[in-house]
Every structure is written in C-alpha cells, then in structure tokens.
Amino acid sequence: MREFGSFYKFCFNVAKTAVAAITKKDWAGQEHLPEGGFIAVSNHATNFDALTFMYFLGEAGIPPRMLAKAELFDIPVLGAIMRKCKQVPVYRGSDRAGDALAGAEKALLAGECVGIFPEGTLTEDPNFWPMRGKTGAARLALRTHVPVIPIAQWGALEVLPQRSSKWKLYPPTKITMRAMEPVYLEDLYERGVEDHEAVKEATARIMKALTQGVAQIRGEVPPAQPFEPTKKSRSKRPYKKRSIWQRLRKPFD
C-alpha cells in the first residue's frame, strides 16, 4: 500500500517547493502510472534529475522507494532522511549488493512504487543519451511481474550540468517529463531470472523504450546502439565507506 507518511510528506513538500521554484513543468503521461506496485525507470544525465523524477511521481500521489548508492546514506542529515523515508541503499561491488533487490522486491509486492535509474549511474554517452542498462530493473520485473513504466525526461542538465556544482536558478528551466505505457515483458515471465538471455532481453526492451521517450522529447534520432560504459565506469566502483569530510566534499562520487 502506498502511503507518504508524515515525515516523507514533509520532506517531499520541502523538496517540491525548491524544485518548483527553479523549473517549469512540461509533464504528460501520468495516466500510465498504475494503481498497484510498479517499477518506474528514468534516464540519468545529472544528479538533479533524481529530484525531478521524484517530483513527477510524488505529484501523482506516489511516494517512490528509490534505489540509491549506499554512499549517499553516509552523508550527515541526508542519510538519516533517506533512511527515514525508506529509500533503498545499493552496496555496489560488495556481498551486500543483492540486498537492494530483495528490499525492492518486498516493496513492489506490497503495492509500492520502486524508482530506478537502470543505467546505474550518470550516463557516459557524450550526447547524454541513455547508455547500456544494468539488469536490476529487469530482474525485479521478472521476479514480481509488476509493470515497468519508462519515464523519459529532459531539461535537468540545464539546471545542473553533469558532475557540476554550478546551479542555474533563474529564469526557471523547462523540465519535460513523459510517462509511457508499460514495457511488454509478459512473454519473458515464464523464463524468469535464471534465464540470462531473458534478463538480457528484458533489459534491452526497457532501455529501448526509455531511449525512444527521450528521443521524442528531444526531437532527435538516438544512436543505433546504446553507449557501452567504460571498464573504469564510476558505477563499478565497490562500495567503500568514507569519512564525513570526504562525503561532504564529494557527495556524489
């Protein structure tokens, strides 16, 4: 069951006020957001698009449980807020990496929304198209059989460029969000997560739908093949707890 809870609602309203002050909404497709549990996926070009993603869902009355790197939970105050709002930490490259999917699966089966950036980190595509996705969202979908709703977005990069600390606060920036119809995965359910080809195909379908949504917003043709992240991708760094000073200096590393 979806419930904001008083603390979550308070935090959402504070964040909503701040985001609304520096953006202009160009939203559509909220009729595609289902009543029961579902997986919401979005493209990830800048750290600001996590706020626009949650804003879009929250305004539809849906408090998302976001999968977020565990390092964010180490940041003073922010980490406490994320835990209180029941966000889900992802311990990359550790023996706890599966904990996130287990927690997300439980939430989905309870009728909640789980929000995921399926690329796993900020895109490395030079033109900010969605790159090759990781398998987490596909695995959750094949385990739970809940809908996967792509939510394409564009505009957040203008507010906060990738890996930058320089915000554009005025004039308000148009943020375009489009929720689309569920990705068709029903033919893969029986094959399940033990079938690596089924997981690979489900991941490809999710990323294709998301990329098509971004292309429609941008009015451009996406690359024929998604960008392959480098071996030195930040998303492949194992989780390593850092000092408070390190987290405050570089919170999104």
pLDDT for 97 beyond 80: no
Local structure of 42: helix, strand or coil? strand
Query: Which tokens hold the place of 112?
Result: 């909640």
Query: Token digits for 84?
Result: 């209180």
Question: Side chain identity at 198, as an amino acid letter?
Answer: A
Residues 62-79: pLDDT tens digits? 988 888 776 776 776 677
Give the integer Cα–Cα distance in Å for 190 and 243.
45
How high is the pLDDT of residue 87?
Answer: 73
Average the pLDDT over each of 28-37, 83-92, 174-183 and give the range with the smallest value.
83-92
Total tally of structural domains belonging to the chain: 1
Angle at 51 between CA 92 and CA 78, to 5 degrees: 60
CB 9 within 8 A of CB 158: no
Rounded alpha-carbon distances, angstroms, from residue 223 to 131, 175, 180, 205 = 10, 22, 20, 15
Helix (H, G, I), strand (E, B) or coil at 93: coil
Count of residues in the chain: 253
Q: Is residue 246 part of a domain?
A: no
Among the ranges given (7-21, 39-53, 67-81, 117-131), the one the predictor scored with the smallest mean pLDDT: 67-81
pLDDT exceeds cutoff 50 at 197: yes
Evaluate whether residue 6 is within a structural domain: no
d(CA 133, CA 128): 14
In a domain, 85, yes or no: yes
Tokens 């949504």 -> residue: 213
Tell me the pLDDT band of 249, cut-offs 50, 70 and 90. Answer: very low
Confidence of residue 252 (pLDDT cuts 50, 70, 90): very low
Task: Give the mean pLDDT of the chain.
Answer: 86
State mean pLDDT over 128-157. 96
Higher pLDDT, 92 or 85: 85
Q: Is residue 252 part of a domain?
A: no
Print the domain residue range for 198: 21-230
Mean pLDDT calculated for residue range 163-178 = 93
Which comes out higher in pLDDT, residue 104 or 212?
A: 212
Asked, for residue 9, whether it belongs to a domain, the answer is: no
pLDDT at 75: 75
The confidence score (pLDDT) of residue 245 equals 42
Q: Which two tokens stand for residue 41?
A: 């996926």
Residue 247 inside a domain? The answer is no
Q: How confident is the model at residue 251 (pLDDT cuts 50, 70, 90)?
A: very low
Alpha carbon of 11 to those of 18, 46, 63, 236: distances in Å?
11, 21, 11, 30
Helix H or strand E segment including 116: strand 113-116
Confidence of residue 253 (pLDDT cuts 50, 70, 90): very low
Q: Which residues of 229-242 are buried (b: 16+ CB within 10 A; e: fewer)?
A: beeeebbeeebeee
**Per the domain annotation, does 240 fall within a domain?**
no
Separation CA 44–CA 164 (nearest Å): 14
**CATH classification of the domain holding 159:** 3.40.1130
Asked whether residue 143 is assigned to any structural domain, the reply reads yes
Least confidently predicted of 19-33, 82-96, 147-161? 82-96
Check whether 221 has a pLDDT greater than 60. yes
Least-confidence region, from 75-79, 131-135, 143-147, 151-155: 75-79
- pLDDT for 239 equals 43
Contact criterion met (CB below 8 Å) for 77 and 248: no
CA distance 52 to 58: 10
pTM of the model: 0.86
Q: What is the pLDDT of residue 246?
A: 45
